[in-house]
C-alpha cells in the first residue's frame, strides 16, 4: 500500500511527463507508472523520513543492483539491509537531505552485495514532501557505475605503468649518456696522461737539480721552484678536469659562463689538438649571461664535438677550429621546426649561440640526415660507436636547447647550439 | 770538451729545467728550441753534437723533424735521442724510432741519470766510429 500511496503523491509529476508520449493516452494511471518505474534503467527508491527511514519504494533496477528483492526491502531500513558502516553513511546523507531540504549528490559510494560483491553507485537523493500522507520522503536514484570505476582503475594502473616505464627510460638515458662518456674518457685518457707526464717530467728535473745541493747564490733556484709549483698546479687541473668529467651525477644545473666550460673542455682535448696540429680560434662576446648548465654533461658535448672536428680535419694542411659564443634574440623559428624546439624556444627568446666550425671535409648530404641516428658512424668498427652525436643531442635537449649541424659553404662543418637564457638572467640584461 | 746539445720541445718549463740540469754538469752547452718548425734553422746555426727531440709537438712533430734532418746533408749525421710522454706502445716502438733515424728513445718523465748515460754512450759510440 505504501508504494501506491507514494506513487499517487508523485503521480502528478509523472503523468505530466507521460502526457507528452502517445502511450500515455492508452495507459491507466497507477499500473502505467509502476511499469515505468520498474523499467527505469536506474535504481529508484524512497524512504519515509517520518518512519525511521523505512523503504517505501524499491524498483526492479534497485533489486538488480543490490541483489535484494523488493518484498525484502520494503518496510525495512538501511540497518536491516546493509552493513552497519554503509547503513550509517546512508542515514547521515538522508538526514542531511531532510535537514537542508535540498538535493544531495553522492558521486561515488560502495555497497556490498551478496551476489555481485562490491557495487559502485552514483546516487542522487531529494527530499519530497508528501502532503497528503503528511510525511517527508527521501527519494533516491542510483546508477550502477561499477564498470566505469573499474575501467578508471585500470586506466590509472596503466598510467602508473606508463609513468614507471617513462622513469625507467629516463634512467636508461642517463646510463647511456654515462656509458658514452666513459668511452670518451677512454679516448681522452692517453692524451690526459701525456699532458700530466710533461709537468711530472719538469718536476723530476727540478728535484734532480735541487738534490745536488742548493747554492744560495744560484739564480736558477727561484726560477725552478716557480716552474715546479706551476707544474703541480697544471697537472692537478688536468686530472681534476678528467675526474669532474667522468663523474656520474643526475642532471645538476648551475649558473655557468659558457666560455669557462669551453676552456675546460679545450684543456681536456689539448693533446688531441696538439697532435692534430689544430689551431683553435675562440671568440667570446663580452658580458655573456650565465646559463643553466650541467657542466659535466655539457663538457661531454663539447669534448665530443671537438674530437669529431679534429678527426674530420686529419688530412687538412691547416686544420682550424673556430669557436664563437654570442648572445642573441631568437627569430625566424618556424612553428613546425620540431615539437621540442617549439616547446622550449620561441621567437623573441634571449639565447646564447655557440658556433663551432671546422675546415674539414664536411658531411655528405646523405650522411647529414643520419648523423643523429644511434649507431650510425663513418668510422671503422671499434673506433666509433655511433653514439657520440645522439648523446650530444640528448644532452642539449636536456638543457632545453637546440643543436643544428650544417656544411659550410667553403668546406667544413658548422655546428650551432642554441641555449635559452634563464628568465631571471634575461631580465637582468634588459635592465 | 764541452758538447753542444740542441733540445727541441714545445714544453717551455721542461726545456728550461733540462738546460739548467745539463749545463750544471759543466760538460754540455745547451740550446733550446720550443718551436719545432724552427728546429732545422736552429740546428744549422748551432750545429749541435746531438739533438734531443720531443715527439708530440704542434706544427711539426718529432718524427717530421728527424726525417728532415735525415734528408739534410749537414744534419744527417747528428745523432738524435727522442723523448716522449706518450704512453701507448705503438707510438713509442723501437721501429718507429728507427724509422725516424733516432738512436734511442727516452720516456718522460726523463730520469736525468739515464739521460746522462745515454748522452755518454752516444758520444762514446761516435768516438768509436
Interface residue of A192, A201, A217, A273 to substitute, partner B, most B CBs within 10 Å: A201
Q: What is the pLDDT of residue A342?
A: 43
Q: What is the mean pLDDT of residues A422-429?
A: 64
Q: Is the pLDDT of residue A22 over 60?
A: no
Q: Where in chain A is the domain with CATH 3.30.565.10?
A: 252-431
User: By the CB < 8 Å criterion, does B85 face chain A?
Assistant: yes
A197 and B109 in contact by Cβ < 8 A?
yes
Q: What is the pLDDT of residue A55?
A: 95
Of residues A353 and A426, more confidently modeled: A353
Lowest mean pLDDT across A233-242, A271-280, A332-341, A408-417? A332-341
A212 and B24 in contact by Cβ < 8 A?
yes
Name the closest residue on chain B to residue A271, using Cα atoms. Answer: B56
Q: Is the pLDDT of residue A180 over 60?
A: yes
Choose the closest CB to A209 out of B24, B57, B58: B24
How many angstroms separate the CA of residue B36 from the nearest CA in chain A? 12
User: By the CB < 8 Å criterion, does B14 face chain A?
Assistant: yes
Q: Which residues of B touch A321 (CB under 8 A)?
A: none
CATH architecture of A172-248: Orthogonal Bundle (1.10)
Name the closest residue on chain A to residue B110, using Cα atoms. Answer: A201
Interface residue of B15, B62, B108 to substitute, partner A, most A CBs within 10 Å: B108
Give the number of other CB atoms < 10 A from CB of residue A54.
18
Q: Name the A residues in 155-194 with CB < 8 Å from any B CB.
A: 190, 193-194
Among residues B97, B117, B15, the alpha carbon closest in space to that of A198 is found at: B15
Report the alpha-carbon distance of residue A57 to residue A40 in Å, rounded. Answer: 13
pLDDT tier at B127, thresholds 50, 70, 90:
low
Q: Is the pLDDT of residue B53 over 90?
A: yes
Beta bridge partners of A51: none
B58 and A277 in contact by Cβ < 8 A?
yes
Choose the closest CB to B87 out of A193, A205, A227: A193
Choose the closest CB to B18 out of A199, A205, A231: A205
Q: Give domain limits for chain B.
A: 3-128
Calculate the dihedral angle through the C-alpha atoms of A230, A235, A239, A240, rounding to the nearest 10 degrees.
-10
Report the alpha-carbon distance of residue A346 to residue A335 in Å, rounded. Answer: 9
CATH architecture of B3-128: 3-Layer(aba) Sandwich (3.40)
Q: Is the pLDDT of residue B88 over 60?
A: no
B17 and A202 in contact by Cβ < 8 A?
yes
Q: How many Cβ pairs closer than 8 A exist between chain A and B?
A: 71
Q: Which residues of B touch A197 (CB under 8 A)?
A: 85, 87, 108-109
Q: Cα angle at A188 between A185 and A191, to 5 degrees?
A: 150
Q: What is the pLDDT of residue A32?
A: 86
Q: What is the mean pLDDT of residues A250-269?
A: 89
B109 and A190 in contact by Cβ < 8 A?
no
Lowest mean pLDDT across A100-109, A393-402, A408-417, B86-95? B86-95
pLDDT (tens digit per residue) in A25-55: 555 677 888 889 999 999 999 999 988 999 9
A204 and B11 in contact by Cβ < 8 A?
no
pLDDT (tens digit per residue) in A198-214: 899 999 999 999 998 88
Output the nine-digit C-alpha cell for B52. 734531443
Q: What is the pLDDT of residue A426?
A: 57
Among residues A132, A52, A66, A42, the alpha carbon closest in space to that of A98 is found at: A52
Report the alpha-carbon distance of residue A405 to residue A401 in Å, rounded. Answer: 14
A204 and B13 in contact by Cβ < 8 A?
no
Choose the closest CB to A231 out of B13, B85, B86: B13
Q: Is the pLDDT of residue B46 over 80?
A: yes
Homologous superfamily assigned to A2-144: PAS domain (3.30.450.20)
B56 and A204 in contact by Cβ < 8 A?
no
Q: Is the pLDDT of residue A340 over 60?
A: no
pLDDT (tens digit per residue) in A214-232: 888 888 899 999 999 999 9
Q: Which residues of B touch A186 (CB under 8 A)?
A: none
Beta bridge partners of A254: A293
Lowest mean pLDDT across A25-34, A399-408, B85-94? B85-94
A277 and B108 in contact by Cβ < 8 A?
no
Report the alpha-carbon distance of residue A402 to residue A338 in Å, rounded. Answer: 10
CATH topology of domain A252-431: Heat Shock Protein 90 (3.30.565)
CB A159 within 8 A of CB A151: no
Of residues B85 and A119, more confidently modeled: A119
A202 and B58 in contact by Cβ < 8 A?
no
Q: Is the pLDDT of residue A382 over 60?
A: no
Secondary structure of residue B93 in the 3-state scheme:
coil
Q: What is the pLDDT of residue A139?
A: 95
Q: Which residues of B touch A193 (CB under 8 A)?
A: 85, 87
Output the nine-digit C-alpha cell for B28. 754540455
Report the alpha-carbon distance of residue A42 to residue A58 in Å, rounded. Answer: 11
Q: What is the pLDDT of residue A20?
A: 42
How many angstroms separate the CA of residue A342 from the nearest CA in chain B? 44
Of residues A10 and B24, more confidently modeled: B24
Output the nine-digit C-alpha cell for A244. 669532474
Q: What is the mean pLDDT of residues A273-298?
A: 90
Output the nine-digit C-alpha cell for B17. 729545467
Report the alpha-carbon distance of residue A359 to residue A412 in Å, rounded. Answer: 4
Q: How far apart are the first and last CA of chain A?
A: 84
pLDDT tier at A63, thresholds 50, 70, 90:
very high
CB B70 within 8 A of CB B79: no
Cis peptide preceding B109, ω within 30 of 0:
yes
How many residues in chain B? Answer: 129
Output the nine-digit C-alpha cell for A418. 642554441
Q: Which residues of B touch A227 (CB under 8 A)?
A: 13, 16-17
Q: Which residues of A touch B24 (CB under 8 A)?
A: 209, 212
Report the alpha-carbon distance of residue A40 to residue A61 in Å, rounded. Answer: 7
Q: Where in chain A is the domain with CATH 1.10.287?
A: 172-248
Of residues A123 and A367, more confidently modeled: A123
User: By the CB < 8 Å criterion, does B47 face chain A?
Assistant: no
Name the closest residue on chain B to residue A277, using Cα atoms. Answer: B58
Report the alpha-carbon distance of residue A61 to residue A273 in Å, rounded. Answer: 83
CB A327 within 8 A of CB A289: yes
User: By the CB < 8 Å criterion, does A210 face chain B?
Assistant: no
Q: Which residues of B touch A217 (CB under 8 A)?
A: none
Q: Where in chain A is the domain with CATH 3.30.450.20?
A: 2-144
How many angstroms separate the CA of residue B51 from the nearest CA in chain A? 18
Q: Which residues of B touch A221 (CB under 8 A)?
A: none
Beta bridge partners of A130: A135
- The ipTM of this complex is 0.85
* Helix extents (H) in chain B: 12-24, 39-46, 62-71, 94-99, 112-128
Amino acid at each position: 500500500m505504501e508504494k501506491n500511496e507514494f506513487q499517487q503523491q508523485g503521480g502528478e509529476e509523472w503523468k505530466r511527463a507521460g502526457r507528452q508520449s502517445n502511450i500515455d493516452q492508452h495507459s491507466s494511471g497507477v499500473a502505467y507508472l509502476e511499469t515505468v518505474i520498474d523499467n527505469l534503467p536506474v535504481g529508484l527508491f524512497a524512504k519515509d523520513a517520518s518512519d525511521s527511514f523505512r523503504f517505501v519504494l524499491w524498483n526492479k533496477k534497485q533489486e538488480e543492483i543490490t541483489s535484494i528483492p523488493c518484498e525484502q526491502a520494503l518496510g525495512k531500513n538501511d540497518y536491516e539491509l546493509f552493513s552497519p558502516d554503509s547503513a550509517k553513511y546512508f542515514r547521515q546523507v538522508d538526514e542531511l537531505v531532510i535537514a537542508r531540504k535540498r538535493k544531495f549528490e553522492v558521486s561515488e559510494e560502495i555497497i556490498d552485495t551478496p551476489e555481485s560483491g562490491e557495487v559502485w553507485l552514483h546516487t542522487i537523493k531529494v527530499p519530497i514532501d508528501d502532503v497528503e500522507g503528511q510525511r517527508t520522503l527521501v527519494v533516491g536514484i542510483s546508477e550502477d557505475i561499477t564498470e566505469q570505476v573499474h575501467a578508471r582503475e585500470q586506466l590509472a594502473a596503466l598510467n602508473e605503468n606508463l609513468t614507471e616505464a617513462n622513469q625507467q627510460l629516463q634512467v636508461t638515458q642517463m646510463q647511456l649518456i654515462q656509458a658514452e662518456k666513459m668511452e670518451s674518457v677512454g679516448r681522452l685518457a692517453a692524451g690526459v696522461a701525456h699532458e700530466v707526464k710533461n709537468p711530472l717530467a719538469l718536476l723530476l728535473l727540478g728535484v734532480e737539480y735541487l738534490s745536488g745541493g742548493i747554492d744560495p747564490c744560484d739564480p736558477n733556484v727561484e726560477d725552478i721552484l716557480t716552474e715546479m709549483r706551476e707544474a703541480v698546479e697544471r697537472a692537478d687541473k688536468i686530472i681534476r678536469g678528467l675526474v669532474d668529467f667522468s663523474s656520474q651525477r643526475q642532471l645538476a644545473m648551475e649558473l655557468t659562463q659558457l666560455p669557462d666550460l669551453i676552456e675546460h673542455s679545450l684543456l681536456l682535448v689539448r693533446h688531441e689538438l696538439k697532435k692534430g696540429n689544430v689551431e683553435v680560434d675562440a671568440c667570446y662576446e663580452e658580458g655573456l649571461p650565465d646559463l643553466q648548465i650541467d657542466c659535466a654533461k655539457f663538457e661531454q658535448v663539447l669534448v665530443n664535438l671537438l674530437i669529431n672536428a679534429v678527426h674530420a680535419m686529419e688530412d687538412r694542411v691547416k686544420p682550424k677550429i673556430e669557436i664563437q659564443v654570442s648572445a642573441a634574440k631568437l627569430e625566424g623559428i618556424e612553428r613546425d621546426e620540431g615539437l621540442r624546439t617549439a616547446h622550449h624556444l620561441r621567437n623573441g627568446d634571449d639565447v646564447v649561440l655557440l658556433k663551432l666550425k671546422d675546415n674539414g671535409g664536411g658531411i655528405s648530404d646523405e650522411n647529414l640526415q643520419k648523423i643523429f641516428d644511434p649507431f650510425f658512424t663513418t668510422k671503422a668498427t671499434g673506433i666509433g660507436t655511433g653514439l657520440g652525436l645522439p648523446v650530444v643531442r640528448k644532452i642539449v635537449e636536456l638543457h632545453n636547447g637546440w643543436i643544428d649541424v650544417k656544411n659550410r659553404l667553403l668546406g667544413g662543418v658548422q655546428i650551432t647550439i642554441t641555449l635559452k637564457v634563464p628568465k631571471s638572467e634575461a631580465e637582468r640584461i634588459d635592465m | 770538451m764541452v758538447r753542444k746539445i740542441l733540445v727541441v720541445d714545445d714544453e717551455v718549463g721542461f726545456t728550461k729545467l733540462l738546460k739548467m740540469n745539463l749545463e750544471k754538469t759543466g760538460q754540455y752547452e745547451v740550446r733550446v728550441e720550443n718551436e719545432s718548425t724552427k728546429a732545422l734553422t736552429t740546428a744549422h746555426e748551432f750545429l749541435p753534437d746531438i739533438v734531443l727531440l720531443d715527439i708530440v709537438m704542434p706544427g711539426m712533430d718529432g718524427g717530421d723533424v728527424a726525417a728532415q734532418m735525415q734528408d739534410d746533408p749537414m744534419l744527417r749525421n747528428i745523432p738524435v735521442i727522442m723523448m716522449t710522454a706518450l704512453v701507448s706502445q705503438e707510438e713509442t716502438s723501437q721501429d718507429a724510432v728507427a724509422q725516424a733515424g733516432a738512436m734511442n728513445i727516452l720516456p718522460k718523465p726523463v730520469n736525468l741519470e739515464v739521460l746522462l748515460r745515454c748522452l755518454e754512450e752516444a758520444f762514446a759510440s761516435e768516438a768509436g766510429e
